[in-house]
Amino acid sequence: MNADIEHLPVAKQFSVLNLFRSYGLIWALVLLCLVASLTSSHFLQLANLVNVLRQVALSGIAGVGLTFVILTAGIDISVGAIVGVVVVVGATLLNMNLPFWAVILLGAGLGACFGMLNGLGVIVGKVPPFIMTLGMMVMARGLAFTLSQGQPVALGDEVADAVSWLGNGNLLAIPVPVWIFAAVCAIAFVVLRYTPYGRAIYAVGSNPEAARLSGINVRLTIFSVYLVSGLLAGITGLIFISRLTVGEPTAGTGMELEAITIAVIGGTSLFGGEGGIVGTIIGAAILVVLANFMNLMGVSPFSQQIVKGAIIICAVLFEMRKKK
């Protein structure tokens, strides 16, 4: 690989503009927390803060997967539906007395399989990522309702008690999902920043043709990021089962919007080749704290969707102006 091309995306990632934006995100998070704490006396209560941490972990894991995809200038809007399928299948397998560790492996593998189908459709079938993942979203959600016959799959009391630690338990006074999120972020950060594979992702997102000419397997790189997104969606679904102790076929509805918003808020460009995991973590925190604040203030969920959509539009407008 040509040295100049290899290092260009990394240099772009850590430009002065991105550093400025990262610090701006931190200040925005601090300001948001300050306003929430002054406006609502419930915000700083321990139970609410723990709930915020759990939600950051749930939304953030899927956001990390979308970060990989968007860095290659792709998109994946099927993650929420994949979560729904994994939740239904996982709950069904648990009721068949399958060990929880086996359900974890099968659930993560099922999510990865959906991701691989998305990747194959994009690189082999030449289907635009939006259309491919839109079709997968519809099929996966339909599969979730078909397998559950449109009804929640309730876990038995003994099974629910055995698996609830993953979504509701604590380790060293910190929620278990937060530890999982931290592990996912640490691995993703090292991969993107310090490995040839991470540099290949940035290169493909910046200029696929230049990446190909420099020796990068563009098709395999694109395929792999959809696999990562599906795998992390599967892990999110497993946490959903443990947290709710029920296989709800509607689980994960709207999660694709949250994941995309998290990545975009964190500075991952929808045009590819720019962004990182640190920004995704801060973006997840900002989005969840904002949603929690609006809930405490009595803002309806429908109005919250307006805010999330406006954030995405503003972020894209910012990226277009920057490129000009």
Contacting residues for 15 by C-beta, under 8 A, at least 6 apart: none
- Which pLDDT score, from 0 to 100, does residue 78 have? 94
Collapsing DSSP states into helix, strand and coil, what is residue 54? helix
- Which pLDDT score, from 0 to 100, does residue 11 have? 44
State percent of the chain over pLDDT 90. 47
Query: Which architecture does CATH list for 3-323?
Result: Orthogonal Bundle (1.10)
Residue from 109, 94, 57 nearest 245 by CA: 94
| This prediction's pTM | 0.87
d(CA 298, CA 288): 15
d(CA 321, CA 324): 5
74 and 129 Cβ atoms separated by less than 8 Å: yes
Instruction: Please report which residue ranges of 149-254 form alpha helices under DSSP H.
Output: 157-168, 176-194, 196-206, 208-213, 218-244
d(CA 130, CA 163): 35
260 and 133 Cβ atoms separated by less than 8 Å: no
User: How far is the CA of 14 from the CAs of 9, 160, 273, in angstroms?
Assistant: 9, 45, 12
Q: For 169-189, how does the pLDDT look when each residue is reduced to its tens digit (9 = 90+)?
A: 888 888 999 999 999 999 999
- Which pLDDT score, from 0 to 100, does residue 273 have? 85
Tens of pLDDT along the chain (324 residues) come to 444 444 444 444 445 455 445 567 788 888 888 988 888 888 888 888 888 999 999 889 999 999 999 999 999 999 999 999 999 999 999 988 889 889 999 999 999 999 999 999 999 999 999 999 999 999 999 999 999 988 988 887 788 887 888 888 888 888 999 999 999 999 999 999 999 999 999 999 999 999 999 899 999 999 999 999 999 999 999 999 988 888 889 998 889 888 998 998 888 888 888 888 998 999 899 989 988 888 888 888 788 888 878 877 877 777 677 666
Q: 183-219 burial string, b = 16+ CB within 10 Å, else e?
A: ebbeebbebbbeeeebbbbbbbbbbbeebeebebebe
Q: What is the mean pLDDT of the chain?
A: 87
- Which pLDDT score, from 0 to 100, does residue 18 have? 55
Hey, CA dihedral for 11, 13, 14, 15, is it positive or negative? positive
d(CA 267, CA 253): 24
266 and 67 Cβ atoms separated by less than 8 Å: yes
Q: Residue 242 corresponds to which tokens in the numbers above?
A: 């443990």
- Which pLDDT score, from 0 to 100, does residue 79 have? 95
* Helix count and strand count (H, E) for the chain: 14, 4
Collapsing DSSP states into helix, strand and coil, what is residue 171? strand
75 and 259 Cβ atoms separated by less than 8 Å: no
Residue from 227, 217, 221 nearest 116 by CA: 227
